[in-house]
Each structure stands twice: as C-alpha cells, then as structure tokens.
C-alpha cells in the first residue's frame, strides 16, 4: 500500500518532532514523522539535557538565546512538567590563555543579549562550594542556562503533535529516497512506500546516510560520546559545570541524579554505541579532581550516543542545492537539543516559504563550498 503525505520527517528525535510541532501549529498537518526505532532512540534520548547560551559563534549564541526563551514557555505549551531547572552553567578555565578568550566570549554574549559573567575562581567556588579551585584560573557563569529532562520534551512534543493530527510511525526504517531530476518522488521504508515531495532530514547520527539515499552530500560524521548517571541525591549542585580543556560536563537533574560525560579526544568516527572502560576511569578521575567529595557517590549506569559532527561544529539547516524540498536539520555536533526550539521554528518557516524568524544563510550546507568557516569553539564532552 502506498501512502501519501505533504511532508515526511525522518527522525523522531527532538528536532524531527519539534519541526512537526511548528508545522502543525501553523495548520500544516499532512505530515508523517518516521523513526527507525522508538522516539528519542538517538542523541535526543542519550544527551545530558544541558541548555546553554554561552557559545562562541554569533549564530549559536542567537539560536541558543531564542531557544532558551522558548524552553521557558514550553511547559505551558506542551502541558507537561519538563523539569527545566535554570541553575546556570559554570564554565571553568585552567589556563590564562583560555581565560583571555573567555573574556572575549562574554563580551560577544553580552552584546547579543546573553547575561553571562566573567568570574574569579573564588566567585566560582561561591556557586559550587565543593569545587576544588586550586588549578582554576577563571570561570564564566550564566544564570539562565540550565538542564531539562530530554524524555519529557520528546514525549511532550509527540503527544501534542499527535493531537494536532500529525502521524508518527516508530520502528519504521527509511531504506531509500526516490528522486526524479531534482524532485523527490517517494520515500521507501521497511513498512512500505510513501509518496511525498518534501523530506526533512532530522536523522542525527544517521543524517549523512539519509542524505546519501537522496543523492545529496552533507559532510556530517557521527562520533560516539559516553555519559553516565549516579543515584539520585537531594539537590546540592545548582549549575552545570563544564571545562573545554578537560572535556567534562556534569550537573544534577531535577530528579537528583548527577548526569555527566567526558569526551575522548582519540574517539574514532563511526556508529558505535557501546560503553567503554576508558570512559569509566577517565570520567571518575576528572570528576574527583573537580569535586573530591564525589568519591563516595555511586554511579549506576553509563551509555553512549552520537555527536553528529560537522567540520565547523555548527548545524546544517535549510534546503540543499542538489534537490528541491530536501531540508536538513542535522549536524548539531553535540548541541542539538539546546538549540532545537528556534531551529525547528525556522525550519518550519522555510518549509512553508515564510520569512524565517532568524537568518540562517550561514548555516546552509553550501558554506562548506564557498565560505570561510567560523568554527564553534565551545563544544564539550
């Protein structure tokens, strides 16, 4: 049986569902969301839930700033307690050179309306009294950053999207995207064919594979990142604490668990989602350097997901030159959740041919051909 939809969204993560939500809000409901597994199987259900506006590139700062404002209203919109806790992000620096860059970052963030502050080590310790600041040189802090519970957001979006009348099919894998000339004709799946002329590629770590099916090229490469969670405790840690140099991030969720990860600089690209001993050891070592009092805290679970990475660590948005109506919402390089509200709103506007709320010209895939890249320097984990 061949079904027909005006648009097919590939990927039931936060950006696929968020784009469906914004399309639906505008009355465009003849849409199908597909996921090869369950909703949130990819990075949307595997990330640390961080919502940060302290970025180094103008585009990311603006996307994150607008998204944070939208997250503040999302509980009411989705009628769901999303456990958004604005305890801030404390970014630590251990070298003078990096601290000097932090000063510049704060200037840019302030100019763009993000209220971040440059702090001394002692001021950082006031925010997290358990912190060992003996090697800390400086820090930045932004109170309106925070954390959210990713599954609540995913399930909240899914419920609203279904109510609006948009279809969601889980356990349905896309196997091919059939084109004729530069037009999309249909999407082939494990459960049958779907006629459509509009496809949104929100497939996270699998995005470059999906683009290839349509005959388009995007430079995304999936890289494994590991993460862990502890037993829940009464709140004692307010902000998310991160360090670019050590690649570590950790925060305490509204539920009470410490959630954190650390990046392995030697990680080979690929679709590997297994946990490693390297992670257990290195995360524990670094965490105890930061907060020695964590030594008796129990880790209960570790897992892994992908950063869908691009050469400049910035997302790929908008249509592609090769094919009409093939929209990209991918390449988030580890920060797709926190910018998703604004990204998804703009993507819906582009699909409907409306004037986008934010200029995303510099985030189109063409930038890799003909523009100087501005690399995002604020990636962690």
Partner 1 sequence: MTTVVCRCEDLTEEDIVEAIEEGYDELETLKRHLRLGMGPCQGKACLLLARRILRRETGKDVEEMKEPTARPPSRPVPFSLLASPDEGGEDDD
Which residues of this protein are in contact with partner 1, per CB under 8 A? 37-41, 45, 132, 151, 154-155, 229, 231-232, 255, 275, 280-281, 283-285, 287-289, 292-303
Joined tokens for residue 325: 């109506």
Minimum distance from CB of 105 to partner 1 (Å)?
Answer: 30
Residue in the structure block whose two tokens are 């950082």 = 124
**25 neighbors 157 (Cβ within 8 angstroms):** no
* Nearer residue to partner 1 within complex by CB, 277 or 369: 277
- Rounded distance between C-alpha atoms, residue 39 and residue 321, angstroms: 30
Q: What's the order of all strands across the beta sheet hosting 199-201?
A: 167-169, 31-34, 7-10, 199-201, 326-330, 316-319
Cβ proximity to partner 1: between 109 and 340 the closer is: 340
Distance of closest approach, residue 264 Cβ to partner 1, in angstroms:
16
Residue found under tokens 């959740």: 337
277, burial (CB in 10 Å: exposed 0-12, middle 13-18, buried 19+): exposed
Least distance to partner 1, CB of residue 134, Å = 11
Pick the closer one to partner 1 by CB: 191 or 289.
Answer: 289
Cα–Cα distance measured from residue 28 to residue 350, given in angstroms and rounded to the nearest whole number: 13
State the minimum distance, in angstroms, from the CB of residue 103 to partner 1: 31
In whole angstroms, the minimum distance from the beta carbon of 279 to partner 1 comes to: 10
Q: How far is the CB of 44 from partner 1 (least distance, A)?
A: 11
Of 98, 25, 57, the closest CA to residue 314 belongs to: 57
Supply the minimum distance, in Å, between the C-beta of residue 187 and partner 1: 24
Q: How many Å apart are CA 198 and CA 224, to the nearest integer?
A: 30
Q: Report the residue number, 141 or 149, with the smaller CB distance to partner 1.
A: 149
Tokens found for residue 142? 């932004």
Q: How far is the CB of 41 from partner 1 (least distance, A)?
A: 8
Give the residue with the Cβ less far from partner 1, 154 or 218: 154
Nearer to partner 1, 228 or 346 (CB): 228
3-state secondary structure of 55: coil
Number of Cβ within 10 Å of residue 355's Cβ equals 7
| CA–CA separation, 166 and 348 (whole Å) | 14
Place of tokens 């350097």: 289
Question: Could you tell me the smallest distance in angstroms from the CB atom of residue 293 to partner 1?
Answer: 7
Q: How far apart are CA 342 and CA 329, in angstroms?
A: 11
Q: DSSP character for 361?
A: G
3-state secondary structure of 84: coil
User: Residue 5 or residue 294: which is nearer to partner 1 going by CB?
Assistant: 294
262: nearest Cα among 222, 292, 227: 227
Q: DSSP letter for 85, please.
A: B
* Closer by beta carbon to partner 1, 84 or else 327: 84
Based on CB atoms, which residue is closest to partner 1, 226 or 308? 226
CA dist., res. 88 & res. 239, Å (int): 5
């Amino acid at each position: 049986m061949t079904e027909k939809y005006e648009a097919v969204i590939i990927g039931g993560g936060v950006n696929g569902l968020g784009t469906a939500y914004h399309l639906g809000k505008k009355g465009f409901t003849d849409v199908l969301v597909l996921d090869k597994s369950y909703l949130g199987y990819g990075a949307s259900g595997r990330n640390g839930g961080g919502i940060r506006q302290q970025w180094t590139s103008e585009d990311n700062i603006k996307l994150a700033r607008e998204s944070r404002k939208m997250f503040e209203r999302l509980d009411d919109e989705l009628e769901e307690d999303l456990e958004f806790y604005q305890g801030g992000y404390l970014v630590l620096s251990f070298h003078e050179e990096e601290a000097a860059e932090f000063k510049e970052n704060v200037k840019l963030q302030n100019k763009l309306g993000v209220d971040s502050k440059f702090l001394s080590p002692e001021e950082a310790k006031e925010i997290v009294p358990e912190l060992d600041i003996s090697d800390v040189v400086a820090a930045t802090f932004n109170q309106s950053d925070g954390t959210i519970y990713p599954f609540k957001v995913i399930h909240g979006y899914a419920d609203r999207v279904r109510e609006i009348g948009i279809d969601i099919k889980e356990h349905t894998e896309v196997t091919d995207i059939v084109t004729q000339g530069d037009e999309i004709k249909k999407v082939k799946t494990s459960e049958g064919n779907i006629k459509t002329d509009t496809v949104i590629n929100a497939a996270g770590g699998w995005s470059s594979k999906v683009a290839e099916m349509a005959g388009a090229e995007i430079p995304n490469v999936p890289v494994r990142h590991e993460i862990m969670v502890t037993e829940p405790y009464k709140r004692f840690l307010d902000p998310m604490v991160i360090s670019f140099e050590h690649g570590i991030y950790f925060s305490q969720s509204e539920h009470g668990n410490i959630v954190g990860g650390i990046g392995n600089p030697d990680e080979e690209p690929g679709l590997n989602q297994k946990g490693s001993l390297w992670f257990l050891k290195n995360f524990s070592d670094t965490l105890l350097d930061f907060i020695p009092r964590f030594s008796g805290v129990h880790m209960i679970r570790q897992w892994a997901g992908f950063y869908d990475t691009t050469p400049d660590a910035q997302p790929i948005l908008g249509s592609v030159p090769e094919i009409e109506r093939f929209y990209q919402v991918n390449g988030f390089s580890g920060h797709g959740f926190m910018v998703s509200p604004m990204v998804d709103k703009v993507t819906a506007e582009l699909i409907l041919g409306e004037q986008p709320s934010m200029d995303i010209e510099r985030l189109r895939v063409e930038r890799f051909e003909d523009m100087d890249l501005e690399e995002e320097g604020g990636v962690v984990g």
